């Protein structure tokens, strides 16, 4: 779908400094920006937390042309329970094994140099590292659980305009044509359980698309978590946001935001 692309995936973190060091020193990402907030987000997508919080954006390049990671820290929350909704973040990058060895972090190694490693701090998200040099953005794919592949396809392809890259009876991989990053949904036969570490996907779309997206999703009988709203941050661009609930509860929610210049505006 023209003008739409993935922006970032949101992880919660309980140990901010240690976790950010893992992303920067082990995975080689850069801190792109950091923001502090005194209270809950008006878009209501930070779960049941109305306390002070922060977000740190990390990635391999500008938010204008890379899929990045938002690390959400809720003050006073010391741990999160990991569900089975998020399965993998796939990164194509060389040199990670050596950094893991030097830091004495545990990992599993497979044929071809593929590595699976869990974040060593709560809530223990899992990363897949492909030991190859990426042509562009090393962030390749997010894999999520789905309890209904057919309904997942209806929502993400028909309603949100993603293209199918590959599919079978138990999984589907989708993307927006302008971006090599893919979303993979896998049905492993288990009910999807979010727990408190539930995540969120943010997608950019032209401003003219936001209300039609909200209307078509609503007409299809799916839930709107937060109807179209403007979020203002002093000194930064106002952003329009509509927040959707994934139909099979693969994600806590999906934020569709205006595709302005991405650096420096607030996406809750």
Show which residues are catalytic. Answer: 128
DSSP letter at 223 equals P
What is the C-alpha to C-alpha distance for residues 37 and 43, in angstroms, rounded to an integer?
13
Q: What region, left, alpha or beta, does residue 80 occupy, with left being phi > 0 and alpha being psi -120 to 50 degrees? A: beta
Task: Supply 36's token pair.
Answer: 């502090």
- In 3D, which of 177, 127, 109, 120 has the Cα closest to residue 9? 127
What is the C-alpha to C-alpha distance for residues 182 and 177, in angstroms, rounded to an integer?
10
Residue 115: phi and psi, rounded to 5, are: -125, 140
Cβ neighbour number for residue 168 with a 10 Å cutoff: 8
Residue with tokens 């209270």: 39
- In 3D, which of 250, 247, 221 has the Cα closest to residue 155? 247
Distance (Å) of CA 92 to CA 105, 133, 255, 258, 265: 19, 6, 26, 28, 28
- In 3D, which of 148, 155, 151, 153 has the Cα closest to residue 166? 153
- What would you measure as the largest C-alpha separation in the chain, in angstroms? 53
């Amino acid at each position: 779908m023209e003008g739409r692309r993935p922006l970032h995936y949101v992880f919660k973190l309980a140990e901010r400094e240690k976790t950010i060091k893992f992303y920067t020193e082990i995975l080689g990402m850069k801190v792109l920006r950091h923001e502090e907030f005194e209270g809950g987000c008006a878009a209501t997508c930070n779960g049941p937390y109305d306390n002070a919080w922060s977000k740190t954006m990390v990635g391999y390049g500008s938010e204008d042309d890379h899929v990045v990671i938002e690390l959400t820290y809720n003050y006073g929350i010391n741990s999160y329970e990991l569900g089975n909704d998020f399965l993998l973040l796939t990164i194509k990058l060389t040199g990670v094994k050596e950094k893991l060895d030097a830091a004495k972090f545990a990992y599993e190694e497979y044929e071809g140099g593929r590595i699976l490693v869990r974040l060593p701090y709560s809530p223990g998200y899992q990363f897949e590292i492909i030991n190859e040099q990426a042509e562009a953005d090393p962030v390749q794919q997010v894999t999520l659980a789905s309890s209904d592949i057919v309904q997942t396809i209806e929502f993400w392809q028909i309603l949100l305009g993603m293209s199918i890259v590959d599919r079978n009876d138990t999984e589907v991989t989708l993307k927006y044509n302008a971006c090599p990053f893919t979303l993979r949904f896998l049905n492993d036969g288990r009910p999807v359980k979010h727990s408190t570490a539930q995540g969120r996907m943010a997608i950019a779309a032209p401003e003219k698309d936001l209300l039609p997206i909200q209307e078509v999703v609503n007409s299809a009988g799916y839930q709107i978590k937060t109807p179209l709203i403007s979020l203002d941050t002093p000194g930064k661009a106002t952003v329009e946001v509509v927040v959707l609930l994934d139909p099979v509860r693969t994600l806590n929610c999906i934020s569709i935001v205006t595709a302005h210049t991405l650096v420096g505006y607030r996406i809750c």
